[in-house]
Chain A
Amino acid sequence: MSFDDAYQSLTDHDDDARWAYGTGFSDPLAGVPTALPDGVDGAALAAYCLMIGDDALIMSHRLQQWVTRAPELEDEMALANIGLDLLGQARLLLTRAGEAEGAGRDEDALAYLRDASDFRHVRLVERADADFAHLIARLLVFATWRLALLDRLSASRDPVLAAIGAKGVKEVAYHRDYAAGWTVRLGDGTDLSHQRMQAAVDEVWPLLGELFEPHATELALAGVAVDPSTVRAECDAVFSQVLHAATLDTPAAPPASGVSTTVSAVTGGAVLSEGAVLVPAPTGGAASGDASARLGGRGRDGVHGAELGEILEELQGLARANPGGVW
């Protein structure tokens, strides 16, 4: 095709052009062998793919909201690129979830047509950012955690998850370096930037507990899924290294007994009144021994803050207003 115009190939097709939502995007797993490994329950695998797929999808959406609002053009590019990487991971994982579920749902049905209580991401990714420091604190925690998870996932018995993990490691390593770099720059910067970065870290830290608390679905998929409690030490070491370089104090680690109780204990009624209009947890989604689920607080069980409603309104509005719409 042409050397002169990078986009000519998009317009000189004999037939149709494919370049936007609703114009016939292909299956991101086209041609990838999709058989389930021996002894793996399709419903459990689907539930797990939704968890880590929704983490990527919702974090990507929050990152996209920063485009046109970042401090510099280079950071717009960085945040958009990080969001794009995560969106790509989400597409693969939601497609895999749909296949494993076997009910005919594709990535679009899962992204655009599920209700809030059917989303399985951790609460960390849906939080609205008060300022850039807050985004950086969330991204540092998220990328550090996800990098460790994906690295272990690359040894999964499910070859598709293993491939997604191995590829994602290369991408998320860059995300973590970016967030760590800004954490140090702001923390070890001026008095004001230090103060705001410390405030952001203090605000985000209570959400850590949920990240490392294994869910019944993860425990039921030994060898396929990653038990997040196994990456805690590795993540803590990275947090400590970055916060030390940034001259920031590491907040006390939250107990692993759930998010909502921790948040309310730390910040009192302020957060609850503003962001915790909880949707009911679906019955049967959690093991009976899961303390935080009994207390009504885990994103992994579909319990989310009101912020998710705002995200989904934006994310799903077009698709829901025009079911099956193409152009």
Chain B
Amino acid sequence: MAATVTDPELPMVTLAELGILRDVRETDDGVEVTITPTYSGCPAMEAIQADVLTALRRAGYERAHVRTLLAPAWTTDWISAEGKAKLAAAGIAPPGPAPRRGSGPVPLTLGVRDEKIACPRCGEESTERLAAFGATACRELRRCPACREPFEHVKEI
């Protein structure tokens, strides 16, 4: 039941497909749902907790609570293939593989990032970034030079 709850900002995908829902189990203390926050400041987390509890209550589970799991930190690699397909169908370019880091300092990116994000509308492979921060913390704004449409992209983290 908890798996069917959708994200308040990305209502086309479920919490399970986004990899936010980590675990659901029945305990002596009722149902325990474990979720992991996407970004530290994501205000949707409050709504997500409320939605999960409401969904469980409607399904007859009166005793339920939500547990926050901070580590390991959420990564876009946890978005399922189905979740990515649904994002693309809704015009939001899904994330590619999250950057892997070796040891040493976090590398600085100056200038244009070398990345290929395909346009979710026409499929053009080379698109340009308009802004690194979009309508929510997890998305950026891009533009397709072929069909000239702007679109959103879920950033790889």
Does B70 make an interface contact (CB < 8 A)? yes
Which of A1-9, A109-117, A199-207, A268-276 lies at the interface? Answer: A1-9
If over half of A's interface residues share one DSSP class (helix, strand or loop), that class is named, otherwise mixed; here it is: helix
Q: Please tell me if the beta carbons of B106 and A167 are within 8 angstroms of each other in the complex.
A: no
Q: How large is the interface on A (under 10, 10 to 19, 20 to 34, 35 or more residues)?
A: 35 or more
> How many whole Å from A243's CB to the nearest CB in chain B?
11
Q: Please tell me if the beta carbons of A88 and B39 are within 8 angstroms of each other in the complex.
A: yes
Total contacts A-B at CB 8 Å: 154
Contact of B133 among A3, A7, A82, A89 (CB under 8 A): A82
Q: Please tell me if the beta carbons of B40 and A7 are within 8 angstroms of each other in the complex.
A: no
Q: Please tell me if the beta carbons of A6 and B9 are within 8 angstroms of each other in the complex.
A: yes
Interface centre among B5, B58, B137 (most CB of A within 10 A): B137
Q: Please tell me if the beta carbons of A167 and B46 are within 8 angstroms of each other in the complex.
A: no
- Specify which chain A residues have a CB less than 8 angstroms from the CB of B39 in the assembled complex: 84-85, 88, 167, 171
Which of B48-56, B77-85, B114-122 lies at the interface? Answer: B48-56
Nearest opposing residue in chain B for A185, CB measure: B111
Contact of A148 among B68, B70, B105, B135 (CB under 8 A): B105
Whole-angstrom distance between the alpha carbons of A242 and B68 in the complex? 38
Q: Please tell me if the beta carbons of B9 and A84 are within 8 angstroms of each other in the complex.
A: no
Known: A163-B71, A168-B40. A31 touches B66 (CB 8 A): yes
- Specify which chain A residues have a CB less than 8 angstroms from the CB of B155 in the assembled complex: 174
Q: What are 16 A-B residue pairs whose CB atoms fall within 8 Å in the complex? A: A2-B6, A3-B12, A9-B6, A18-B47, A29-B68, A30-B66, A30-B68, A32-B70, A80-B133, A81-B137, A82-B133, A84-B43, A85-B41, A85-B137, A164-B40, A171-B40
The 7 closest A-B pairs by CB, nearest first: A88-B41, A31-B67, A88-B40, A163-B70, A74-B131, A163-B71, A78-B133
